[in-house]
Amino acid sequence: MREAYREDLSSVVEDLVLMTERVVTAVHLSTRALLEADLALAEQVITDDAVLDAQHDDLEARCFVLLARQAPVAGELRTIVAAMRMVADLVRMGDLACHVAKIARLRYPTKAVPEGLVPNFELMARVAEGMVATAGRALSERNAHDAAKLADSDEEMDELRKSQFRILLGTEWPYSVEAAVDVALLGRYYERIADHAVIMASRVIYVVTGNHPAGDNWTYA
C-alpha cells in the first residue's frame, strides 16, 4: 500500500514537470504570436490554455486524494502541499501567456509591440521561458541549487522591466498612447510569469530542504 502511495506521489510530480513544459511552450508561442503578429499562433495558445486548466483540476484532485488516503510523513506532506501550490502557479503562468496571445490577437494584423521595444521583449520572453524551464528541471531533479539560481534571473527580469519604463516615461516616446498601454500590460505579464517561476522554485527548495529560502530576492504567495 505504501509503495503504491509513493508511486502515485511520484506520478503527480512527473505530471507537474510535464505541465511546466507546456507552460514554456505557451510562453514561447505567445511571444512569437506577439512579435510576428501571427493570429494562428495566438489562437493556438488561447485554445490550449483549457488543457492547462484541466491539468490543474486533475492534479489538484489527485493531491487531495493523496492527503486523504494515508497520513503522509514529513517529506511526503511537504511534497503534496507544495505540489498543490505549484500547480496553481503553473496555471497562472499559462493564463498570463494567454493574456499575451489575446493582445496579439486584438492588435492583429498590426504588431502590438513597437519596433523599438522588440529587443526588450525578446529578452524578457527568453528570461521568462528559461526561468520556467529551470523551475521544472529543478523539480524533476530535486535540485535546490538550480532552483536557487532563479532569484538572480528574476533580478535580470526586473532590470528589463525598469529599462522598459524608462522608455515608456521618457519625453521622446514616439508611439501612441494605445501602444504605451499595451507595452505596460505586456511587460507586467512577463514580469509576473517570472515571479511565479521564482515562487515555484522556492517551493522546490522547501520540498528538498524543508526550509523556505530567505532573502530580499525571494517572492512568496
For residue 163, being part of any structural domain is answered with yes
The CATH number of whichever domain residue 88 belongs to comes to: 1.20.58.220
Residue where the block lists cell 504567495: 221
- State mean pLDDT over 12-33: 97
pLDDT of 8 higher than 60:
yes
Lowest mean pLDDT among 1-10, 17-26, 124-133, 183-192: 1-10
For residue 217, being part of any structural domain is answered with no
Amino acid (1-letter code) at residue 50: A
**pLDDT category of residue 218 using cuts at 50, 70 and 90:** low
For residue 66, being part of any structural domain is answered with yes
pLDDT of 13 higher than 50:
yes
Residue 72 contacts residue 118 (beta carbons within 8 Å): no
Return the pLDDT at 170.
82
Return the pLDDT at 220.
47
**pLDDT category of residue 16 using cuts at 50, 70 and 90:** very high
For residue 214, being part of any structural domain is answered with no
**pLDDT category of residue 211 using cuts at 50, 70 and 90:** confident
Query: What residues make up the domain containing 36?
Result: 2-209
Angle between helices 39-69 and 74-107 (to 10 degrees): 160
**Chain centroid to CA 182:** 20
Q: Can you give the chain as a three-state secondary structure string?
A: CHHHHHHHHHHHHHHHHHHHHHHHHHHHHHHHHHHHCCHHHHHHHHHHHHHHHHHHHHHHHHHHHHHHHCCCCHHHHHHHHHHHHHHHHHHHHHHHHHHHHHHHHHHCCCCCCCHHHHHHHHHHHHHHHHHHHHHHHHHHHCCHHHHHCHHHHHHHHHHHHHHHHHHHCCCCCCCCHHHHHHHHHHHHHHHHHHHHHHHHHHHHHHHHHCCCCCCCCCCCC
For residue 25, being part of any structural domain is answered with yes
pTM: 0.93
Return the pLDDT at 213.
80
For residue 75, being part of any structural domain is answered with yes
For residue 184, being part of any structural domain is answered with yes
pLDDT in tens, 136-181: 999 999 999 999 999 888 999 999 999 999 988 888 888 999 999 9
Return the pLDDT at 12.
94
Percent of the chain with pLDDT over 90: 78
Q: How many domains does the chain have?
A: 1
pLDDT of 215 higher than 70:
no
For residue 181, being part of any structural domain is answered with yes
Residue 43 contacts residue 98 (beta carbons within 8 Å): no
